[in-house]
Amino acid sequence: MVNIILLGPPGAGKGTQAKRISSLYNIPHISTGDMFREAIKKGTELGKTAAKFINEGHLVPDELTIAIVKERLNKDDCKNGYLLDGFPRTLPQAEALDALTLELARPLTHVINITCGTQELVRRITGRRVCRKCGAPYHIDTLKPKVTGICDLCGGELYQRADDTKEALLVRLDHYYKETKPLEDYYKAKKLLVEVDGELGLEGTLKAIKKVLGATK
C-alpha cells in the first residue's frame, strides 16, 4: 500500500504526475487546489472564501484547508492508499496531517519532492492554459492545442488561471519558499523524503517516481 505526498513548487508537475500515479495504483488523487477550484465553480461558501486568497496567489488559511482534507481522507476509498497533491503546504498542515494519519491508521509511506528551477517554473506557469470544461492542461509554446483557444479533448474554451499570471505566481513562489520548502526538512527528519528531478520530461520524471515507489507496473 502506498500513502503518498507530492511536494514541490507550483509548476513542478505535481498535478500531471499525480494523475498518472493515481491511475497506476488505483488510489484517489487528492488535490486541495482542485477541490478549491471545484468549490469556486459551484459558488459554495468555501469557494467564495477560497477565491479571495487563490486569485492573488495567497494560501487559503490552514483551518479551512485542513478541514477539507480531514473530510476527504476519512472516506473509504483512501483505505487502500491515497496521493496528496498540494497538501501539506505549511508546518501546521503537516502537523495536522500527522495527527490525522495516526488517528485513521493510514500512515504516510512516501514523500516525493519534485524539484524544478525557478526560471523553468515561470516559463511553465505563465504559459499554461487550462480547459474551462475538463481541466486539461496546455502550454502556449510547448503543448499547443490543434485549434487556438480550444481544447482538443472536449472542445471547451482554454483560459489562463487567475493565479497563473506573473504577478500572482511571484506571490505563490514567495509562499512556497517561505512556508512549503521548510517541509523538506520536516520529512527528511522522518526519513520519508525522496527527491525526483522534475525537469526530465513527463515520462522521465514519471519513471523516476515509479522507481522510488518500487513500481512493478
Query: Which residues are known catalytic residues?
Result: 14, 89, 128, 161, 172
User: CB of residue 143 vs ligand AMP: minimum separation in angstroms?
Assistant: 17
Task: Find the binder of ligand AMP among 8, 18, 22, 163 (CB under 6 A).
Answer: 163
Q: Radius of gyration (Cα) for the chain, nearest Å?
A: 17
Whether the CB-CB separation of 53 and 35 falls below 8 Å is answered with: no
- 1/202 with CB nearer ligand AMP: 202
* Site size toward ligand AMP, by CB under 6 A: 18
Site for ligand AMP in 6-45 (CB under 6 A): 10, 32-33, 36
Query: Segment contacting ligand AMP (CB under 6 A): 40-48, 85-93, 100-108, 110-118?
Result: 85-93
Burial category of 169 from C-beta neighbours within 10 Å (exposed 0-12, middle 13-18, buried 19 and up): buried
Give the three cell numbers for residue 50. 477560497
Q: How far is the CB of 163 from ligand AMP (least distance, A)?
A: 5
Residue nearest ligand AMP (C-beta atom): 33
Which cell numbers in the block locate residue 81?
492508499
164 sits near ligand AMP (criterion: CB under 6 A): no
Distance CA 203, CA 206 (A): 5
According to CB under 6 A, which one of 7, 21, 54, 94 is a site residue for ligand AMP? 54
User: Binding segment for ligand AMP among 52-60, 99-107, 151-159, 191-199 (CB under 6 A)?
Assistant: 52-60
Quickly tell me which residue has 523516476 as its cell: 208
Determine the Cα angle at 21 with ends 169 and 158, to 5°.
45
In angstroms, the CA 164 to CA 124 distance is 9
Alpha helices, DSSP H only, in the chain? 14-25, 32-42, 45-54, 62-73, 91-104, 118-126, 166-175, 183-189, 201-213
Q: Which is nearer to ligand AMP, 80 or 98 (CB)?
A: 98
- Smallest distance from ligand AMP to CB 57, Å: 6
Q: Which residues would be at the binding site for ligand AMP (CB under 6 A)?
A: 10, 32-33, 36, 53-54, 57-60, 65, 86-89, 93, 163, 172
